Amino acid sequence: MPTNVSVAANAASGVLFQNVQFDLANEYNPNTSTFSPRTAGVYSLNASVEFQSNANVDFNLEVVFFVNQDVVGGNNTFQTRNLPAVVAITEILELNAGDTVTVAMRSTVTGVIQATTRTRFAAARVPSPTV
């Protein structure tokens, strides 16, 4: 069962994506929320995170992909007050077989990453044209 994750202010937190709809090539580990492609190629990666702050103040959210522990891409958003906020990221990256892809989030306030359908991750290999 997916669980919410508490987040400290200004600290990067790994995002858990534990609800797997399908994993056709057995490339995703829901226990570690790590995607590791079996085939080298170009991949479309998408992630979104729903966050609920603990305070009724304005705040910033940032989400990034880590590929082999290196930050790749990122997106941030400004949120007013304590309504649930969603920040999303999309990247098209060339990955090698065995690379590891994870997602991290940072907020300027304490709060909770919500384990809802709006917190999700998707990866798909983009077919290469034949010559």
Check whether 9 has a pLDDT greater than 60.
Answer: yes
Our CA angle for 112, 59, 120, nearest 5°, is: 45
Domain that holds residue 39: 5-126
Share of the chain above pLDDT 90, in %: 77
Candidates 103, 94, 95; CA nearest to 34 is 103
What's 40's domain CATH number? 2.60.120.40
Backbone phi, then psi, for 6, in 5-degree steps?
-70, 145
Check whether 18 has a pLDDT greater than 60.
Answer: yes
Pairing of strands 111-114, 85-95: unpaired
Share of the chain above pLDDT 70, in %: 97
Residue 131 domain-assigned (yes or no):
no
Per-residue pLDDT band at 130 (split at 50, 70, 90): low
Residue 42 domain-assigned (yes or no):
yes
Check whether 1 has a pLDDT greater than 60.
Answer: no
Residue 121 domain-assigned (yes or no):
yes
DSSP assignment of 50-85 equals EEEESSSS-EEEEEEEEETTEEEEEEEEEE-TTS-E
Residue 81 domain-assigned (yes or no):
yes
Q: What is the largest CA-CA distance in the chain?
A: 57
Residue 131 is predicted with a pLDDT of 57
The model carries a pTM of 0.91
Measured CA to CA, the distance from residue 45 to residue 3 in angstroms comes to 22
> Based on the structure, what is the number of domains in the chain?
1
pLDDT digits (tens, 9 = 90+) for 74-118: 888 888 776 789 999 999 999 999 999 999 999 999 999 999 999
